[in-house]
C-alpha cells in the first residue's frame, strides 16, 4: 500500500476491522483484493451498505466500490463467508449513490446468490398451469377454467405502512382475475392487510426463504409478483 501504511496478510483483518466509511486512508481495492478477496469482499459490502453516507469521504468510497465491485463478485463462489445480514442493504441503498451504473451491483449479487442456492438444496420451480379442467366426453358440460394463481411476495405490508396504502387496492382488485396467494413474514403484516388476499401464508424470519420456496413449489403459480425487493433478505434470495 502507501507509506506510512504497511499492509500485509498478517494485519489485513485488523485493517478491515478498523476501516470505516469516513477513514481518510485512500481505498485501494485492487491491492486489497490480492491479499484475501473473501475478507475484503466483506469490508467492501459493509462500506456500501450504509443508508446514509453524508460525508464526502464515505460517499466517495461507495461511488468507487459500486463501479469496481460488480465485476469482481463473479470471482466468488459462495455466500457462506459474506455478511448476508446486510446484503439487502447493499441491494437497496445503492440507489442513493450518484453513479450512473449504481444498480449494476444488483445483477452481480443476483448472479452470486443464484449460483450459491443452486449449489445447495434449491432449484428452479417450473412454471405451473393452474387453469386446467377435467376432460369429459361432453365438452359442453365442462365448467369454466379455473382462475390462474398469483403469488404475491410481501415485505413490509402492515396496514400502517406506506406500501399498504399505495398497493392494497390494486392487489385486492387482482382477485377478480386471479386466485391471489401472498407470502410474508409474520411480523410484517397484520390482520387488516391479510384480508387483501384470498390466502395468506406466513413464514418465520429464521426460515423464510425455505418456507416461501416450499410454498411456491407447492402452488406452482402462474404469476409471481414482488410487492418490493430489498427490505428483507429472503425476498432477494427468492427472486
What tens digit of pLDDT does each residue of 168-220 get?
A: 999 999 999 999 999 999 999 999 999 999 999 999 999 999 999 999 999 99
* Percent of residues, the chain, with pLDDT higher than 90: 79
Instruction: Give yes or no: residues 16 and 101 share one domain.
Output: yes
Nearest CA-CA partner of 154 in 177, 124, 188: 188
Residues 16 and 114 in one domain: yes
Q: In whole numbers, what is the pLDDT of the chain averaged over residues?
A: 91
Identify whether residues 183 and 106 lie together within a single domain.
Answer: no
Write down the pLDDT at residue 35. 86
Stretch 33-44: mean pLDDT, rounded? Answer: 93
Domain annotation covers residue 186: yes
201, part of any domain: yes
Is 184 part of a structural domain of the chain?
A: yes
* pTM for this entry: 0.85
Asked whether residue 27 is domain-assigned, the answer is yes
Asked, for residue 132, whether it belongs to a domain, the answer is: no
Same domain, 16 and 109: yes
Q: How far apart are CA 107 and CA 169, in angstroms?
A: 31
| Same domain? 104 vs 183 | no
Inside any domain, residue 69: yes
3-state secondary structure of 78: coil
Return all residues near 134 (Cβ < 8 A) that are at least 6 apart: 142
Please report the pLDDT score of residue 9 as a whole number: 72
pLDDT > 90? residue 140: no
Look up the domain containing 233 and give its range: 139-238
Same domain flag for 103 and 154: no
Please indicate, yes or no, whether residues 19 and 109 belong to a single structural domain of this protein. yes
Q: What angle do CA 5, 9, 14 make, to 5 degrees?
A: 65
Q: What angle do CA 73, 54, 236 make, to 5 degrees?
A: 35
Q: Are residues 87 and 157 in the same domain?
A: no
The conformation of residue 120, written as its DSSP 8-state character, comes to T
Which positions ≥6 away from 12 have C-beta within 8 Å? 32, 35, 36, 39, 40
**128 band by pLDDT with thresholds 50, 70 and 90:** low
The whole-number pLDDT of residue 134 equals 45
Across 2-6, 59-63, 78-82, 185-189, least confident range:
2-6
Q: How far is CA 166 from CA 162, 170, 172, 186, 197, in A?
A: 6, 8, 12, 20, 15
Q: What's the confidence (pLDDT) of residue 116?
A: 94
Same domain, 89 and 152: no
What is the average pLDDT across 14-29?
92
Say yes or no: 144 and 190 in one domain: yes
Among 68-82, 133-147, 172-186, which stretch is predicted with the lowest mean pLDDT? 133-147
129 belongs to a structural domain: no
Say how many domains are in the chain. Answer: 2
Statement to judge: residues 168 and 92 lie in one domain: no
φ/ψ of 35, rounded to 5, equals -75, -55
Mean pLDDT on 72-91? 93
Do 83 and 151 share a domain, yes or no? no
Instruction: Report pLDDT for 1.
Output: 45
pLDDT at 30 over 50: yes
Question: What pLDDT is recorded for position 126?
Answer: 78
- Residue 124 domain-assigned (yes or no): no
CATH code, domain carrying 183: 3.40.50.11380
Amino acid at each position: 500500500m502507501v507509506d506510512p501504511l504497511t499492509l500485509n496478510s498478517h494485519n489485513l483483518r485488523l485493517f478491515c476491522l478498523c476501516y470505516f466509511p469516513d477513514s481518510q486512508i485512500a481505498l485501494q481495492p485492487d491491492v486489497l483484493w490480492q491479499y484475501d478477496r473473501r475478507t475484503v469482499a466483506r469490508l467492501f459490502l459493509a462500506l456500501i451498505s450504509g443508508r446514509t453516507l453524508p460525508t464526502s469521504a464515505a460517499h466517495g468510497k461507495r461511488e468507487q466500490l459500486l463501479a469496481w465491485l460488480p465485476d469482481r463478485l463473479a470471482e466468488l463462489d459462495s455466500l457462506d463467508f459474506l455478511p448476508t445480514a446486510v446484503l439487502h442493504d447493499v441491494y437497496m441503498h445503492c440507489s442513493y449513490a450518484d453513479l450512473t451504473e449504481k444498480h449494476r451491483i444488483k445483477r452481480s449479487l443476483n448472479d452470486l446468490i443464484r449460483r450459491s442456492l443452486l449449489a445447495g438444496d434449491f432449484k428452479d420451480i417450473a412454471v405451473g398451469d393452474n387453469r386446467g379442467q377435467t376432460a369429459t366426453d361432453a365438452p359442453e358440460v365442462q365448467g369454466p377454467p379455473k382462475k390462474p394463481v398469483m403469488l404475491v411476495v410481501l415485505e413490509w405490508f402492515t396496514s400502517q405502512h406506506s406500501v399498504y396504502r399505495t398497493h392494497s387496492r390494486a392487489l385486492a382488485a387482482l382477485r377478480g382475475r386471479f386466485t391471489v396467494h401472498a407470502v410474508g413474514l409474520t411480523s410484517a403484516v397484520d390482520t387488516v392487510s391479510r384480508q387483501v388476499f384470498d390466502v395468506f401464508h406466513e413464514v418465520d424470519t429464521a426460515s423464510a426463504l425455505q418456507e416461501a420456496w416450499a410454498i411456491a413449489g407447492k402452488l406452482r403459480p402462474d404469476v409471481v409478483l414482488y410487492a418490493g425487493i430489498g427490505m428483507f433478505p429472503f425476498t432477494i434470495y427468492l427472486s
